[in-house]
Amino acid sequence: MRTSILSKMTQTYSLIALDIDGTLRGDTLEPSDFVLETLDKCCQRGALIVAATGRSRLSAYQYLDHFPMVDYVVSFQGAMVSSRKRDELVWESPMEQKEVALAVEFLADHPVERVVYVDDFILVDSLTPWASSYGERNSVRVVETESFLAHEGTTYRVLAVGSSDEIIKVERSVKTLYSQELYATRSLHHFCEILSPKSGKEKALNWLCHQMDINPKEVLAFGNGLNDLEMIRWAGRGVAIEGGEPEALAITCEIAPPVERDGVAIYLSELLRQNLIGG
C-alpha cells in the first residue's frame, strides 16, 4: 500500500537530489513559478539542492540556467560532480581505456549505434541523422571517427542506441558478463549507457554527502526512470514520480504527482509545511 505524502514524517532532509527529465522537466522547457519558488524556499531553509541527471555537464547546465538555487550537478549518470557557482569539476569517475575498449568492442557485435562521450564532445561511427540531431538538441560537438580509442581526453561513458528489445539485451548482457568491469543502465528505452563501475548517481551523491558531512538518511531523492532506481533505493527517502517507469514506482512507497502537475514542488511543499526541510 502506497504512503501518502500527507503521512506523518519525522526525518529532516538537508539534501534534495533531483533528476531532470521526467522529474523536474516535462514537456515544457521552462519550469513554473511554483517549482522555482518552492525550491527557493527549500534553499532558504538550508537545504542543498542537487541535480542528478544522465545528461552531459553542458546539457545539464543549459537547462539549469532556470534554477539559480542549484549549485552542484551530478551528470553523466553519476560519473561527474561539478559546481556551477565555482565553475569547476569537483569529482569524477571516468572510464579507463581498457573499459572503453571492452565496451565498444562488445557493442560492435550488436545492431546498435555507438556513441562515446569524451570531455565535452561525442564520438560516433558515422554521422547519422540521429547523431546530428542529438548534437543539435544537446548543443554538443559530434565527431565522426574510425577509432574510438585514438582520441585524447577523458571518457565518461559509452552509449548504445537501438531498438528497445536490443537495448534490453545489451544491458542484461553487460550486467551478466561484465558486472565487475562495467556499470550499465538504461536511461531511455532505446539507450543503454555503459560507464565505469565506480559511477552511478547514488555513488556520486554519497561522495557529495561525505564532503558536506550529510548523512544519507537526510537525502531526499526524486526520480522517474530506470537510471534512477539505485538512487531511489540509496536515499534516506526515495520518491518516484507518478507516470514514471513501473520499476521506479515498484521500489518505493513514496510517489509524487506527475511532472505535468509540478509533482516535485507539491511534494516538497508538504514537507516545508511540516518543517522537515532544512540543513
Please, are residues 15 and 217 in contact by the beta-carbon 8 Å criterion?
A: no
Residue 190 clears pLDDT 50, i.e. is over it: yes
User: Which fold is adopted by the domain 97-195?
Assistant: 3.30.1240
pLDDT tens-place string over residues 59-84 = 999 999 999 999 999 999 999 999 99
Question: How far is the C-alpha of 172 from the C-alpha of 66, rounded, in Å?
Answer: 37
**pLDDT the model gives residue 3:** 43
Mean pLDDT score, 211-226: 97
Same fold, 15-93+200-273 and 97-195: no
Please, are residues 208 and 219 in contact by the beta-carbon 8 Å criterion?
A: no
Please, are residues 49 and 277 in contact by the beta-carbon 8 Å criterion?
A: no
Question: How far is the C-alpha of 225 from the C-alpha of 121, rounded, in Å?
Answer: 25
**Interaxial angle between packed helices 97-107 and 164-177, expressed in degrees from 0 to 180 and rounded to the nearest 10:** 140
Q: What is the CATH number of domain 15-93+200-273?
A: 3.40.50.1000
pLDDT tens-place string over residues 1-21 = 344 454 556 899 999 999 999
Cα 252 to chain centroid, rounded: 18
Question: How far is the C-alpha of 208 from the C-alpha of 234, rounded, in Å?
Answer: 14
**Domain map (residue ranges) of the chain:** 15-93+200-273, 97-195
